Structures are given as structure tokens and as C-alpha cells.
Amino acid sequence: MDTPGPDIVRGRVARTKAALDPSLDGLLVTSAAHKGWLTGFTSGVFIAPGGTVLLAKSGDFYETSNVDLEECAAEIPHLQVVGYDWTAETHDERLARLIGEAGCRRVGVEAAQVTAARLAALRKSLAPGGVEVSELEPLIDPLREIKDGWEVEQIRAANRASAEAFAAILPLLRPGATEWAVSAALENELRVRGHGSAKLAFQSIVASGPRSSLPHASVTDRAFAVGDLVTFDFGATWNGYCADVTRTLVIGRASARQRALHESVVAGLDAGIAAVGAGLTFAACSEAAFAPIRAAGFGEYLAHGLGHGIGLEIHEGPRIETKGDKTFAAGMVVTIEPGAYIPGWGGVRVEDDALVTAAGREVLTFCGARELLEV
């Protein structure tokens, strides 16, 4: 099924409205990912193209121009899709009319989802109608942290496509191959094997030799050489939902130090995944994952946190923090990605995606090569 179905999406709308301050008459939603989640329209060139969602006490609306009206009307049957002629009026003029027609006098907007300029423009356009715009703390983000069954299936499928893509480019890995060429081949495979849109979860990382010590290395024309560590961080999408996978391998034979570093990171990955479960703390999971790396003598080379949520966005809540008492909840999908990076020499990161369950966790990553591959 390419869409979650109207019942699932209506449930998302209902939960959002239930979380809204009852003193508000409506909620304006402008974030692409939030609109996609509320509409179920997550495939295609854009996520829920154009327009704004208005969730009001009197009804729920999707406002967009006639450029995207036909497509949105077909893809969003559970909201009232309202169009306007962009040659005759602006988006904000139509939105102001819609808010007035819906009987709203006070609407909320999540402050983190709009720029200061956009907020000022909204207030200016709505003021003549006596409509007040209130800035809200994150409302939809916490709801999106808990994935429903349909969302989990999309992430699982994106992971399966990612594993197939990585396996397909392994024969290309040899001395003289360049980061750029291998990255291009990988991204082509990710698009071919993904579904629902041509987008990738993010720009793939292919970092070789001493550049593998850069956690977010850009892709260059550097050619692989015998003895290089090579880190691959990549992800396909499936109906707009992301996978996030990292694997590190060696061109030729691995040195003892490379093998020791990789083994410590994989031990950290295993320990971190074992510490994922409903009610368990993020801090304890981080400590479990980093302990094997520190014990192996590589603790000073830890450079980033353990992981983050994934879904319609490659980085979304929750963030797996190293301190505090925040806990996992069933339905979260998170990355576990320990890494250690030795400046000027190289680094290793290995990453899997995990679904939090009441009983513990389910690893959604199908990609092999958690052992140190020598190619």
C-alpha cells in the first residue's frame, strides 16, 4: 500500500487537534514533513506541494494554489482541499479568507517551523480580520516520534532498498576508483531501488583514507588506495520515508589498528542496540555503546552523539542524548551509530536503524558487512 489510508491519517489529525491548546481555534501547519504526515501525501516531486494545512474546530483544510490543486485534491481526500487563483490573489490573502470562513479568531503556529519574517507576514495579513497568531512550542514533532505500523513498513522497505544498493556497488570498490564515481553509482542504485520519489534520504558520504576521519565528509575526486579505510553513509527512501545506514571497509588488507578500531565500534553498536527498549534511558544507551570504544583505547576519538530519530526527515526526534533521564518509547525508530575518528589517519562508523518495541527492539537494517570487509 503506497498510502497509509484515510483512517490512519485521520487519527494523526485527531491526535494533533487533541494536543492543541483548547483556547486556540485552529493550527496552521507549514512544515513540509508535518504536512506530509497530516495528509499522507509523502511521495512525488514534493511532500504535500504548496499551501498550508489549517486544522480548525469547524473543519480541516488544505489550502493550495491552482498549480497543485488537481494533484492535492486527488491525494488528500480526508481534508477539504481549497484552491485559489494565484494570478488573482496571494497565498496569504486566500489563507486569511479561509481562516475567517472557518470562524477562527486565534490560531497557533509552531515557532520552530517558521522564520521570523514568515511569522511577521502572517500576522500582518491576518490582523485586518482580527485574527491573533500565537507562537507554540513543538506540537507535531513529539507526535511524529512515535511511528505507526505503516510508517515502520516504509522505513523497513527503505532499509531493504539501501542494502540492495550497497551490495550492488561493492564490485566497483578497487584501488583507483574515486569517491565521486562510487558515490554516483551508489546514489543511482538508491534511486532505482527506492520507491515513491527520486529523492535520497540525504547526500551520500563516501570518505576514503585519512578523509574517513571526517564524520560528515564531502565527496571528492580522491582515488582509493590500498590500505584505505572507506566509510559509506547512505539511505534510500520509500514513499518519502528514510533509511540511514553506515558501513566502513578497507581497500586491501586491514592493519591491526584498523581491525581493532572497527571491532571496538561494532562492539559499541551491539551494546547500544542491546540497550534500546521502551523505558530505558538515552543516557544509559549512549554509555553502553561508548564503553567498548573507550575500553579499546579509542575514547578520545569519539566525536558525536549516538543517534537520532528517522522518518520523513533524516534527522528528527528523538535525539539520543548522553545525559539526562529521557527514555525510549515503543514506536520510536532511531539510529545507533557509534564512531571514532583519528585525525589525519582515518575513522570508523557503523550504523543500524532500530525500532523500539515494548519488549526491546527490532533492527530494521538489512545491510551486511558489519564485520570489516576487505575488498
Query: What's the half-sphere exposure (Cβ side, CA atoms, 13 Å) at 367?
Result: 34
Helix crossing, 149-169 with 179-193: angle to 10°?
Answer: 140
- Record the pTM: 0.95
Helix crossing, 91-101 with 116-126: angle to 10°?
Answer: 60
In tens, the pLDDT along 128-151 reads: 999 999 999 999 999 999 999 999
Tell me the average pLDDT across 267-294: 98
Closest CA to 286 of 264, 312, 259, 306: 306
In tens, the pLDDT along 216-257 reads: 999 999 999 999 999 999 999 999 999 999 999 999 999 999
What distances in angstroms separate CA 173 from CA 164, 204, 208, 257, 347, one per listed residue?
Answer: 16, 16, 11, 21, 18
149-374: CATH architecture:
Alpha-Beta Complex (3.90)
| CATH level 3 topology of 6-144 | Creatine Amidinohydrolase; Chain A, domain 1 (3.40.350)
**Can you give the pLDDT at residue 48?**
67
Q: Tell me the pLDDT band of 154, cut-offs 50, 70 and 90.
A: very high
In this structure, what is the dihedral angle of CA atoms 317, 338, 360, 16, given to the nearest 10 degrees? 0
Helix crossing, 282-295 with 256-274: angle to 10°?
Answer: 160
The least confident of 117-126, 190-199, 201-210, 365-374 is 365-374
Q: Tell me the pLDDT band of 3, cut-offs 50, 70 and 90.
A: confident
* Domain boundary assignment for the chain: 6-144, 149-374
What distances in angstroms separate CA 360 from CA 132, 278, 279, 318, 363, one per listed residue?
Answer: 45, 6, 9, 17, 10
Question: Which residue type is seen at 158?
Answer: A
CA–CA dist 311, 239 (Å, integer): 11
Tell me the average pLDDT across 254-270: 98
Tell me the average pLDDT across 82-89: 92
Cβ 62 vs Cβ 84: under 8 Å: no
Q: Is 144 helix (H, G, I), strand (E, B) or coil?
A: helix
Count of CB atoms situated within 10 Å of the CB of 14:
12
Q: Is 164 helix (H, G, I), strand (E, B) or coil?
A: helix
**Can you give the pLDDT at residue 198?**
79
Cβ 156 vs Cβ 245: under 8 Å: no
CA–CA dist 148, 156 (Å, integer): 12
Count of CB atoms situated within 10 Å of the CB of 17:
16
In tens, the pLDDT along 28-72 reads: 999 999 999 999 999 866 676 678 999 999 999 999 999 989 989
Per DSSP, 301 falls in state G
Cβ neighbourhood burial of 228 (10 Å; 0-12, 13-18, 19+): buried
What distances in angstroms separate CA 238 from CA 1, 24, 191, 323, 353, one per listed residue?
Answer: 11, 35, 10, 33, 15
The per-residue pLDDT of the chain, averaged, comes to: 95
- Predicted confidence (pLDDT) at residue 369 exceeds the cutoff of 70: no
Neighbouring residues of 101: CB distance < 8 A, sequence distance ≥ 6: none
C-alpha cell, 297: 583505547
**Can you give the pLDDT at residue 46?**
64
In tens, the pLDDT along 285-343 reads: 999 999 999 999 999 999 999 999 999 999 999 999 999 999 999 999 999 999 999 99
Q: What is the torsional sign of CA 22, 28, 32, 37?
A: positive
Q: Where are the beta strands (DSSP E) in the chain?
A: 26-29, 52-56, 59-65, 80-84, 106-110, 132-136, 205-208, 229-234, 237-238, 241-242, 245-250, 307-309, 316-320, 333-336, 339-342, 346-349, 352-357, 360-363, 373-374
Cβ 146 vs Cβ 332: under 8 Å: yes
C-alpha cell, 372: 570489516
Strands 245-250 and 373-374: parallel
